[in-house]
Amino acid sequence: MSEKEQRGLSNECLPSAAEHRAPHRRQPHPYVAVDVVVFALGADGLKALLVKIAQGPLSGAWAFPGGFVGLDESPDAAAAREVHDHTGIRNVHLEQLYTFGGPDRDPRSRVVSVAYIALARGGERAPHHSTKYGEATWFAVRRLPPLAYDHGRIARMALARLRAKLAYTNIVCNLLPPTFTLTELQHTYQAVLARRLDRRNFRRKLLALGLLTRRPGARRGNHRPAALYAFRRRSPIVISIL
């Protein structure tokens, strides 16, 4: 994810180089921010983390965690920092969602915001509450409150992207613990997709893909123990899963 893009030295040689070479130097220009949609599995379905805006005219409204991109950090790093600050989680899976930059997103100042999706492994955790960060809470994605700014749009796009990628990547491994049962895997799919899948077809398909490997031991509960599996590879793979 880290975009170490070497634009090179004087980037003002961008394609349209000449145009902005000197002229735009030192002129007011948009701020750059990130907004992060952090998804996690809760007991009752897929959750997303929201924070309550503490100041300004929109105080009290809910929004996704986010903040400015510093001069010396990439948007990816800024997104990772935001996730860590709000959840304490490091090494979440992060991927860029879309960049929103309309001049009227926020009437008070021009902000171009790079939205990210983050997937937190192993279910929701207690978010960090503090005066610094204000109230933060996990909401069921099906019952999000009204969101500030254009975050409603971000929410819809994030969920659509996540659902789409479930079908053709191994992205789901970022929502699961290292080992899991096939039923847990299926429940994860069902929680994200918000629809039921046929157990027999699901198991056959997933096993046939060869992405999983059997792990020793079993999950024991009140009933018949379930075999444990893990993803053979956690690096992103593009394959037709569903």
Partner DNA sequence: CCAAAAGTGTTGGTCTTACACCCATGC
Partner DNA sequence: GCATGGGTGTAAGACCAACACTTTTGG
In 3D space, the residue among 131, 119, 137, 1 whose CA is nearest the CA of residue 65 turns out to be 137
Residue 81 or 215 having the CB closest to a copy of itself: 81
Among 203, 212, 215, 230, binds DNA (CB under 7 A): 203
CB closer to DNA, 68 vs 168: 168
Of residues 153-182, those binding a copy of itself (CB under 8 A): 153
CA distance 168 to 53: 36
Return all residues near 91 (Cβ < 8 A) that are at least 6 apart: none
* Binding window for DNA (CB under 7 A); candidates: 6-14, 39-47, 145-153, 216-224: 216-224
* Footprint on residues 190-219 left by a copy of itself (CB under 8 A): none
186 binds a copy of itself (CB under 8 A): no
Are the C-beta atoms of 67 and 78 separated by less than 8 Å? yes
Closest by CA position to 80, among listed 6, 155, 2, 147: 2
Q: Is position 88 an interface residue for a copy of itself (rule: CB under 8 A)?
A: no
Residue of the chain from 182, 212, 230, 237 that contacts DNA (CB under 7 A): 182
User: In this chain, which of 199, 232, 233, 234 binds DNA, going by CB under 7 A?
Assistant: 199
